[in-house]
C-alpha cells in the first residue's frame, strides 16, 4: 500500500507539472494519460471531452492505444458505455464479452481486456471521460479509483485553458462541417489501415466500404483452425472485419484450387466458431458487383441487346397488385409515406401507389454513385417533407449487397419515424453483404444483371416495360481483376 501511494504521488506530481506547462494541449493530455495509466498498472488510457450539444466525444489524449481512436475521429457519445457520461464510474471486467461494449472484435484486436471509465466533471456537469485499459483481466482497487478521480479533476481544470478549449472548438467545427456536407448522421470511418494490401481487389473493396461509410478493419484477427500436440498448426485470417455488421469478409483469388482451399477453411472456421459471421466474396463476384457502377474491368463491356425476358409486363403487374394488397391490409387505418430511391424505382413506385387503397404521400431520395475516386456516399436529394412520427415505407427497385439501404436507413432512422419498413421489387439475395429485413419483396432473383422497368445499365434501358437480361450478360463476363489499379 505504501508503495502504491508513492506511485500515485509521483504520478500526480508529473501530472500537475505538465498541466502547468506551456506544452500543447495534445502533449499535456497524452502525458497525463501515460502517467495515469502507469500509476494504476494499466496498458492504455484515453481522455476525451464532449463537444457542444454533447453528441460527440473528441479524443484529447491517449497512451498505449493503436492510433485507431485518433483515426476514428469524433466518437458517438451514446454508442459505448454511455453511463460514464451520466456521471458513473464504469468497470468492465472483460471487454471482449461484455454486452455494454459495442465492438468486441475491436476490443480483441486492440487487446483490450478490462476497462475502467471515470467521468470528468466540471461544476456538476459531465464534460468528458477518462478510460484506462488493460491487456489482461484486471481488477482496479478503490485507491486506483480515487487516484483517477483526482486526475480527472485536474483534466477538468486544464480544459478551461484557452488553448485547450480552442483546439476542441476547432476540431468540433471541422467535424460539424463534415457532417453538414454529407448530411449523414454517421461518423467517419474507423479502420486499422494497412500500409498496403495483399491484392488490388482488397484495396478496391476497402474503397467501396469507405464510400458507403462502412467501418472496416483489415486482417484484425487470426483464427486457429487446427492444433497438433498442443500447438496451433493452422490459422486462418479473414481479409476484412466490418464491426458495425459484425461480419468477416474473405475475398478469394481467381484460382480454382485456392478457392476450394479457402472454402474448406471457411467451413472449418464456421464449425469451430459458430458465432462468427463470415462471407466469402469471390473476386469474380466482386468485379460483377462493380458493374452496376459502370466501374472496374467490366465497366467498358459493350452491350448488344436484351435477349431474355425475366419478368414480363403482366407478371410484374400481377406481383405489384399482390404487394399493394398486403401493404394496404398491414397499414389499414394508417397514413403512410412511401419513400422511393431514385432513379431505378420510378416505374415500380408509379405502379404500386395506384394499387394501394390507403391515403399515401410520396417522397424521393437520391444518393451519389460509387466512382472509385475516394469520395464518400452523399445524399444528392433529400426528403422534401418531414417523416418524424410517421409510418415510412422505403421503396426500392432492387436490393443487391444492401449497402445502399443500410446507409439510407441510418439516415431515415435519425428522423425518428413511427415505423420504417422496406418494400423492394427485386431481391438479389445471393449477393447480400448487409442483412436487412425486407418486409415486402416482389421477386427474388439470381445473381444476374437485370435491366428494364426503371432499372438501367449506364442510364439506358430504363424504359423497357419488362425486366430482362442483357446480351452479353455483363455479370457473366469473366473479370480480370489484375487490371485493377
Q: Which residues bind ligand IMP (CB under 6 A)?
A: 292, 341, 344, 396-404, 428, 449-451, 455
The 10 Å Cβ neighbour count of residue 56 is 23
Cβ 464 to ligand IMP shortest distance, Å: 12
Cβ 440 to ligand IMP shortest distance, Å: 16
- Which residue number, 135 or 462, has a Cβ lying nearer to ligand IMP? 462
Spatial contact of 128 and 120, defined as CB atoms under 8 Å apart: yes
Spatial contact of 113 and 135, defined as CB atoms under 8 Å apart: yes
- Which residue number, 57 or 392, has a Cβ lying nearer to ligand IMP? 392
The 3-state secondary structure of the chain reads CHHHHHHHHHHHHHHHHHHCCCCCHHHHHHHHHHHHHHHCCCCEEEEEEECHHHCEEEEEEEECCCCHHHHCCCEECCCCCHHHHHCCCEEECCCCCCCCCCCHHHHHHCCCCEEEEEEEEECCEEEEEEEEEECCCCCCCHHHHHHHHHHHHHHHHHHCCHHHHHHHHHHHHHHHHHHHHHCCCCCCCCCCCCCCCCCHHHHHHHHHHHHCCCCCEECCCCEEEEEECCEEEEEECCCEEEHHHCEEEEEECCCHHHHHHHHHHHHHHHHHCCCCCEEEEEHHHHHHHHHCCCCCCCCCCCCCEEEEEEECHHHHHHHHHHHHHHHHHHCCCCCEEEEEECCCCHHHHHHHHHHCCCCEEEEEEEECCCCCCCCCCCEEECCCCCCCCCEEEEEEEEECCCHHHHHHHHHHHCCCCCEEEEEEEEECHHHCCCCCCCCEEEEECCCCCEEECCECECCECCCCCCEEEEECCHHHCCCCHHHCC
Which residues are the active-site residues? 400
Cβ 426 to ligand IMP shortest distance, Å: 8
- Which residue number, 26 or 462, has a Cβ lying nearer to ligand IMP? 462
Q: What nine digits make up the cell of 474?
A: 455483363
- Which residue number, 336 or 450, has a Cβ lying nearer to ligand IMP? 450
Cβ 338 to ligand IMP shortest distance, Å: 16
- Which residue number, 127 or 377, has a Cβ lying nearer to ligand IMP? 377
- Which residue number, 118 or 298, has a Cβ lying nearer to ligand IMP? 298
Contacts (Cβ under 8 Å, ≥6 apart) of 194:
218, 219
Quote the CA–CA distance of 224 and 227 in Å, as a whole number.
Answer: 8
- Which residue number, 202 or 427, has a Cβ lying nearer to ligand IMP? 427
Residue linked to cell 471457411: 266
Reference 240, options 262, 260, 214, 263; nearest CA is: 214
Angle at the Cα of 379 from the Cα atoms of 360 and 370, rounded to 5 degrees: 120
Cβ 189 to ligand IMP shortest distance, Å: 17
- Which residue number, 83 or 444, has a Cβ lying nearer to ligand IMP? 444
- Which residue number, 391 or 428, has a Cβ lying nearer to ligand IMP? 428
Amino acid at each position: 500500500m505504501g508503495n502504491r501511494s508513492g506511485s500515485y504521488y509521483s504520478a500526480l506530481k508529473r501530472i500537475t507539472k505538465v498541466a502547468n506547462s506551456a506544452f500543447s494541449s495534445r502533449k499535456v493530455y497524452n502525458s497525463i494519460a501515460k502517467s495515469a495509466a502507469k500509476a494504476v498498472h494499466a496498458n492504455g488510457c484515453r481522455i476525451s471531452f464532449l463537444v457542444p450539444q454533447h453528441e460527440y466525444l473528441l479524443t484529447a489524449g491517449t497512451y498505449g492505444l493503436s492510433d485507431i481512436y485518433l483515426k476514428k475521429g469524433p466518437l458517438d457519445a451514446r454508442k459505448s458505455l454511455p453511463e460514464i457520461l451520466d456521471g458513473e464510474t464504469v468497470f468492465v471486467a472483460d471487454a471482449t464479452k461484455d454486452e455494454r461494449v459495442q465492438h468486441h472484435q475491436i476490443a480483441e484486436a486492440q487487446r483490450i481486456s478490462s476497462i475502467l471509465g471515470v467521468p470528468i466533471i466540471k461544476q456538476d456537469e459531465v464534460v468528458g471521460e477518462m478510460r484506462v485499459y488493460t491487456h489482461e483481466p484486471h481488477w482496479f482497487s478503490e485507491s486506483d479509483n480515487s487516484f483517477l478521480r483526482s486526475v480527472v479533476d485536474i483534466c477538468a481544470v486544464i480544459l478551461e485553458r484557452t488553448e485547450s478549449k480552442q483546439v476542441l472548438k476547432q476540431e468540433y467545427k471541422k467535424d460539424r462541417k463534415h457532417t453538414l456536407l454529407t448530411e449523414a448522421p454517421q461518423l467517419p470511418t474507423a479502420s486499422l489501415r494497412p500500409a498496403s494490401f495483399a491484392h488490388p481487389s482488397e484495396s478496391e473493396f476497402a474503397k467501396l466500404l469507405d464510400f458507403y461509410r462502412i467501418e472496416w478493419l483489415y486482417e484484425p484477427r487470426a483464427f486457429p483452425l487446427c492444433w497438433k500436440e498442443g500447438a496451433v498448426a493452422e490459422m486462418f485470417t479473414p481479409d476484412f472485419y466490418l464491426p458495425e455488421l459484425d461480419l468477416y469478409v474473405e475475398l478469394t483469388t481467381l484460382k480454382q484450387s485456392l478457392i476450394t482451399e479457402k472454402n474448406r477453411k471457411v467451413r472449418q472456421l464456421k464449425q469451430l466458431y459458430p458465432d462468427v459471421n463470415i462471407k466469402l466474396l469471390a473476386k469474380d463476384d466482386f468485379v460483377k458487383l462493380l458493374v452496376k457502377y459502370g466501374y472496374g474491368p467490366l465497366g467498358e463491356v459493350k452491350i448488344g441487346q436484351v435477349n431474355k425476358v425475366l419478368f414480363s409486363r403482366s407478371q410484374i403487374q400481377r406481383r405489384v397488385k399482390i404487394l399493394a394488397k398486403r401493404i394496404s391490409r398491414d397499414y389499414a387505418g394508417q397514413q403512410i409515406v412511401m419513400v422511393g430511391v431514385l432513379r431505378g424505382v420510378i416505374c415500380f413506385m408509379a405502379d404500386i401507389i395506384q394499387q394501394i387503397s390507403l391515403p399515401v404521400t410520396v417522397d424521393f431520395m437520391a444518393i451519389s454513385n460509387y466512382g472509385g475516386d475516394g469520395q464518400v456516399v452523399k445524399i444528392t436529394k433529400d426528403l422534401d417533407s418531414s417523416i418524424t412520427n410517421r409510418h415510412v415505407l422505403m421503396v426500392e427497385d432492387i436490393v443487391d449487397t444492401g449497402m445502399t439501404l443500410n446507409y439510407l436507413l441510418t439516415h431515415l432512422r435519425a428522423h425518428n419515424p413511427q415505423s420504417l419498413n422496406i418494400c423492394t421489387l427485386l431481391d438479389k439475395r445471393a449477393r447480400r453483404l448487409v442483412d436487412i429485413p425486407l418486409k415486402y419483396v416482389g421477386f427474388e432473383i439470381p445473381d444476374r444483371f437485370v435491366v428494364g422497368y426503371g432499372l438501367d445499365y449506364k442510364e439506358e434501358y430504363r424504359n423497357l416495360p419488362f425486366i430482362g437480361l442483357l446480351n452479353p450478360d455483363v455479370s457473366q463476363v469473366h473479370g480480370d481483376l489484375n487490371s485493377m489499379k
